[in-house]
Amino acid sequence: MNTVQAGTGEDLEAELQRLFEARNRKDMAPTITALLDVRNRYPGNARVLYEVGGAYDTAGEEETAAGFYEQALALGLEGDVLRRCYLQYGSTLRLLGRGEESLAVFDRARQAFPGSVSLGVFEALSLHAAGKANAALAALLVLLAENVSSEDLHRYLPALHGNAEYLASLDDDDGDDGGDAAAARRG
């Protein structure tokens, strides 16, 4: 039967690594074919489903990729693979015009991985795509303030945070910052 899992986890990791090293991002068909074969040998393996989704994503087949990401998440991923799946799935949903779903995925992802800069960057892209340009810029300002070490920038960290709060308030329902943000923006 084709669905019997073959080999060990180390065998699978080595095989996946070989496939990634051989892939041509401009022609993903051979990689997709190879990964589908791996999926047939490892049915129900969340990691393999995630990798198949990623290959379809790279090939520009976002609709197909989304289905594989959903299956992988439903089966359960852990650690960095879960973080990467959240990022790729959220980004794919954005590209498919499913902005609110994308933001919901990034919300779950940021709760699970609050310190992830890459999640923050792609969440900002989804905020922008959802018409929340001020919140997107605010999110990027916070990422900049919290992750870029620069003596020149250090003295302006309160101003960056103040500007971020103000910008985020503009995309809120009432947009009323009570005047406090203006003082914070001045630094």
**99 in Cβ contact with 129 (< 8 Å):** yes
The whole-chain average pLDDT of the chain stands at 88
Is residue 169's pLDDT more than 70?
Answer: yes
Q: Give residue 173's pLDDT.
A: 58
Q: Give residue 155's pLDDT.
A: 87
Could you tell me where the beta strands, DSSP code E, fall in the chain?
none
Q: Region 166-184: what's the mean pLDDT?
A: 63
Q: Give residue 96's pLDDT.
A: 97
One-letter amino acid at 42 equals Y
d(CA 102, CA 93): 5
d(CA 71, CA 74): 5
Q: Region 145-170: what's the mean pLDDT?
A: 89
Q: What percent of the chain has a predicted confidence (pLDDT) above 70?
A: 88
Q: Give residue 158's pLDDT.
A: 87
d(CA 15, CA 47): 13
**164 in Cβ contact with 180 (< 8 Å):** no
Residues pairing with 27 in the sheet: 24
Non-local CB neighbours of 69 within 8 Å, separated by 6+ positions: 49, 50, 53, 85, 88, 89, 92
One-letter amino acid at 141 equals L
Q: Region 104-113: what's the mean pLDDT?
A: 97
Which helix (H) or strand (E) is 112 found in, with range? helix 99-112
Is residue 2's pLDDT more than 50?
Answer: no
Res. 8 pLDDT band, cuts 50 70 90: low
| Token pair for 86 | 């959240």
